[in-house]
Homo-oligomer: A and B are copies of this chain.
Amino acid sequence: MTKSDSETLALYFSFFNEVGIIEQLSRALFEARLPDGFLASHFAVLNHLIRVRDGQTPLVLARAFQVPKTTMTHTLSVLEKHRLIEMRPNPKDGRSKCVWLTAAGRDFRNNAIASLGPDIAEFAKQFPPDRIEALVPGLTDIRQMLDAARDED
């Protein structure tokens, strides 16, 4: 026999609940490794600019992180204040700007990643890579579905 509707609902509910708790706990542990006053949102932008490419516009970044553009404006202003990025005019659009990394921005990101190494190694002792590999594809599928659902608005 199959599960009841309410059991199914509870199953999905527990999934999103676990995801929410893991996000919160892992973010707190991660932010404890960042220099004082910096948050995961700041790191995320720097990391994205290195992993993908810098020179992107604030709006493109806002969409990449699924945050309102006002939020991205604020995040970028913090990074710029600390000289981790530079904002330059967009030569292709007079309304727009481009976000470029500074050397200090690259260092900040690389130091943050390096400082995570021991934590990841410790975690990997308890939860080995093959178990992570078994989870990621499913999560990626779900992320893409939710992303598509958002675009339907």
Contact = CB atoms under 8 A, between A and B. Distances in A.
**Identical copies of this chain, number:** 2
A9 to B, nearest CB: 6
Query: Which applies to chain A's interface (DSSP): helix, strand, loop or mixed?
Result: helix
Contact of A136 (B11, B133, B141, B142): B11
A107 interface: no
Given A11-B133, A15-B136, A133-B11, A23 B26 contact: no
Given A11-B136, A22-B23, A26-B146, 19 more contacts: A5-B117, A8-B124, A9-B116, A12-B123, A12-B124, A12-B129, A15-B139, A18-B140, A18-B143, A19-B23, A20-B23, A20-B26, A22-B143, A23-B24, A25-B146, A25-B150, A29-B150, A135-B135, A135-B139
